Chains A and B, each alone.
Chain A
Amino acid sequence: MGTGAPPPPLPPKPQAKGLNCPKCGAAITLRSFGQAVTVVCAGCHSILDAKDPNLAILQQFEAITSVAKPLIPLGTRGKLRGTDYEVTGFQRRSIQVDGITYYWHEYVLFNPYKAIRYLSEYNGHWNDISICKTLPTADFSGATYLGENYKHFQSAEANSDFVLGEFPWQVRVGEKAAVTDYVHPPRVLSSEKLDKEVTWSIGEYMYGREIWDSFKLPGDPPAPMGVYENQPSPVSLNVTGMWVAFAAFAVFLLVLMAVFDMRAKKEPVLEETYQYNRVNAKGEPSFVSDEFALGGGTSNVQVKTSAPVDNHWIYLNYALINQDTGQAWDFGREVSYYHGYDSDGSWSEGKRTDSVVIPSVPAGHYYLRIEPEVDPMLPAIPYSVSVIRDVPVFGIYGIAFLALLVPVVIISFRAYTFERSRWSESDHPPMELSSMSSGSGDDE
């Protein structure tokens, strides 16, 4: 500009301020520049007015430091979601539920350019928390935030019972806030009501390992205990979606079965009834059937046996023999049926019919060699043998169905038990297991 005037004086560059506690003289560092509203002396637990150059004492509290020691020491810097933060404040808070006090810890994270962030820790479970800029809508059962639905988890009165370091608000020990948590794992939406002012915050679950890596802390994070309110389920799959996919697969199997059933020829090639007579069967009991032709290419053959047994058995040694090549398929089938009464009522075992499918039988001329063995109690019995070419086989579909059903059921059960543990800690615990088992106990 050419006037030669000196540039106007610039305000000094903000720097961490070293001060002394007016109560005990201990050194106090203000790390968050002008943002601290209150600062706590670690030496004598005086809560001081950080806005006052003389650090006026606002409150003093009794505390045993060893019971509430920050896991991340004040002044530690770390990178969280791409931004550097310094831990500047720490407080322990508690709620009382059914006469039991539960404690959790909150850490204030500072960056001179960005909004304050918080970390909370409860029994090894961590949350990365920031203040909501948009207003959620809430009622007794849930809340909506940014188009997502959150379920009401717990309402309680939270008490601050230990504070350390700097806070960008007027912190006091003994101050009680009405806290309500709504969950949509891995997120938790919380409202805190202090006097008339309601503050909404949004938290996202973090694992201790991530915190330890972010802040380069030595050793291992404390192992998480139990299931936390917004802890993501180990079942990452959508269980409902999985069942829908399973149902679609089952329908596909049914369609496949129908198609193969329609395409199978199901051609009867032999249908005979034979009479067994113990008197006649002395010596060589085996005999051969009439010859029959198996058409088409290589395909399966079904052999059905039926006999009017009644508390008896018969056993048939079969051989399916290719007349042209001499190739033989040996197999034995039993037909037995038993029934009666005992103390549990009537019972029965076995069937009067039997069926077996022999796979991959080439086309050609065949006959059956049959050797019956019959219950010694039976003097004589008729039995029927039928042979059918090319039948549909459904067993493989059953196996496929079960192979998919089993993991789906196991995953659903795991998701169910995890959600059960989550909600057992809430204001809406699931139905007691004892009342469920007492219901089934009536069957005894």
Chain B
Amino acid sequence: MSQPVANCPNCGAKIVFRWSSSVQTVCEYCKSILVRTDVDLKKVGQVADLPPDSSPIQINTEGKYGNNSFVVVGRILYEYDQGGWNEWHVMMNDGTSAWLSDAQNEYALSLSSKAPNLPAAAQLQVGQQFTWNNQSYTVSVITPAHYRGVEGELPFQYWDKTDVTFVDLRTESRKFATLDYSDPEPALYLGEFVEFDDLKLKNLRSFEGW
């Protein structure tokens, strides 16, 4: 696997991409948000200090999902009225990109999915049902969230956001879906809830006294 190396156009620090398809990364030193162009890296923004965060996951945390192993390469941090949550961008050992979300230590793994005629946010109500990939999903909660920051590598540009609506859909199994209204075009993620112990996570953060 290639690990392209470049230098931060802002501070000159070395930038290493762990995932060859990364579109955006954040300089670990100067927190510049850098976007890959055909020729080099372009600074598009600056990450303000991230709020203190209690997620046990961090960049470089490794884990297992089924027969695949993964490594955490980036994240998007959101806040809503009940606290914050992280969407950790993980790279599977088969090269696919997935998301490990950590909302107050409830973990879920999802993949970007395609489906036609996704509903607009304004049309949705709790209790509505949708069927994707022969699985029925029920809208359980509509969350008005706030983009709070990014870290590491992401598969798309994501830095100039403010208010974002998320719609969670549940099933009668561990499967769930999320509709992300960050962009004008809704994005669908399908995945399942996972147990902390099953993820066999390594390189976790440590907590004082635990």
Contacts and interface: CB of A to CB of B under 8 A. Distances in A.
A114 interface: yes
A144 B172 CA distance: 9
Interface stretch (B65-73, B76-84, B90-98, B159-167): B76-84
Given A14-B207, A33-B207, A170 B104 contact: no
Contacts of A35: 54, 83, 104-105
Interface in B179-210: 193, 196, 204-210
Q: Chain B contact residues (Cβ within 8 angstroms of A): what range? A: 35 or more
A134 B14 contact: no
By secondary structure, the A interface counts as: loop
Interface residues of A, number: 36
Interface stretch (A3-11, A64-72, A241-249, A431-439): A3-11
Nearest to A147: B172
B172 A135 contact: yes
By secondary structure, the B interface counts as: loop
Given A37-B83, A168-B104, A196-B126, A14 B52 contact: yes
A113 B56 contact: yes
A112 B208 CA distance: 10
Contacts of B40: none
A328 interface: no
B141 interface: yes
A330 interface: no
B29 interface: yes
Nearest to A167: B82
B170 A134 contact: yes
A37 B82 CA distance: 6
Given A5-B13, A35-B54, A134-B172, A113 B138 contact: no
A430 B172 CA distance: 32
Contact of A3 (B14, B28, B53): B14
Contact of A116 (B16, B105, B196): B105
A1 interface: yes
Contact of A8 (B28, B56, B206, B210): B28
Given A15-B209, A135-B171, A196-B126, A168 B83 contact: yes
Given A114-B105, A133-B193, A198 B53 contact: no
Sorted from nearest, which 4 A-B pairs have the closest CB atoms? A34-B54, A15-B208, A8-B28, A33-B54
Given A34-B51, A112-B54, A135-B140, 13 more contacts: A1-B14, A11-B53, A13-B207, A14-B52, A15-B209, A16-B209, A34-B52, A34-B54, A35-B83, A35-B105, A111-B105, A134-B170, A168-B104
